Amino acid sequence: MPENRYENPGGPARPTPRPGQEHFTAPVDEGGLGAVDAVRADDAPTSLWGDAWHAMRRRWLFWVSAAVIVLVILVAAFPGLFTSIDPRVCDLSKALQGPQAGHPFGFDRQGCDIYSRTVYGARSSVVVGVLATVMVVLLGTTIGAVAGYYGKWFDTILSRITDIFFAIPLVLAAIVIMSVTADRTSFLVAFVLALFGWTQIARITRGTVMSVKNNEFVTAARSLGMSRGQILVQHVLPNSSAPIIVYATVALGQFIVAEATLSFLGIGLPPSVVSWGGDISAAQGAIRTDPEILLYPAGGLALTVLGFMMMGDVVRDALDPKARKR
């Protein structure tokens, strides 16, 4: 009869160690499961925006782009803090003269102070960019949200309308419309740019809403008796706002460039309005002999667009959970 190697009546069978063999039993919590499963009740709840802010403030690119944007906004809102010279007052006797005391950038071909025109040119460009972005967000988000949430014939009609406008080049359409318009204002330029620039954000919103509307919290809200419109406004759109904000940040810089392009071609803002695009157009005749006349307004335009582009990249990475894990 073989020796019984199992002892532990009433419990799980356990092998009996042979003579001279040490029996080792691992501690119950050797793997640290208790520490892994432990939950601190005093930790503050995290959110998408809280995590995004934590991720953004740790990147130097965020602070650089934020400093550029704040500077541009201050210059556009309060140009009198940076110069006391009227940009529309010109003296032909000072045409193409270099930097002097009180005139660090010198004078252009009309004898106008380049520094003051560069400072005041920020206002028109930023105003057009902000107005166009607000219009695009309102129009594109509305169309994309309705198409993505309600679906069926709403989606069919609105998607085909979006495809039609998407096939029309933004700058080309703006050139055609602005060329036949007599009274050109900042609002009109922004409206024309928004009229043909909303399609991209509409597509982004439609895709995001379609992915969000099937989540559990939408089903829970529907079971509580909320209407479809209330669910769309109170639950679906707030949870779809991340890609919209990212696109709006980048689009603002794009619309500033579009306004400068129209003003450069002479069909944007009128010559009476100081703008970077108009100054670049006026300086192109002296680009070989006096390139600094072109450098300053073009540099202001490039710096502004670069600031918004960098901020858009930072916000995109912060709001994308996959990007934060890389």
* Global pTM value: 0.80
Alpha-carbon span 145 to 125, nearest angstrom: 29
Tens of pLDDT, residue by residue over 101-157, are 888 888 888 888 999 999 999 999 899 999 999 999 999 999 999 999 888 888 899
Tens of pLDDT, residue by residue over 262-281, are 999 888 888 888 899 989 98
CATH of span 48-325: 1.10.3720.10
Tracing tokens 């930023």 back to the chain, one arrives at 126
Alpha-carbon span 290 to 109, nearest angstrom: 9
CB-count burial class (<10 Å; 0-12, 13-18, 19+) for 297? buried
Tens of pLDDT, residue by residue over 46-101, are 666 777 788 888 889 999 999 999 999 999 999 989 988 888 888 888 888 888 88
Query: Residue 64: what pLDDT?
Result: 94
Q: Does residue 194 register a pLDDT over 90?
A: yes
CB 112 within 8 A of CB 90: yes
Alpha-carbon span 269 to 163, nearest angstrom: 29
Domain limits of the chain?
Answer: 48-325
CB 272 within 8 A of CB 189: no
Query: Residue 16: what pLDDT?
Result: 59
Rounded mean pLDDT of 286-290? Answer: 80
Query: Residue 28: what pLDDT?
Result: 54
Tokens of 93: 């006797």
Q: Does residue 240 register a pLDDT over 80?
A: yes
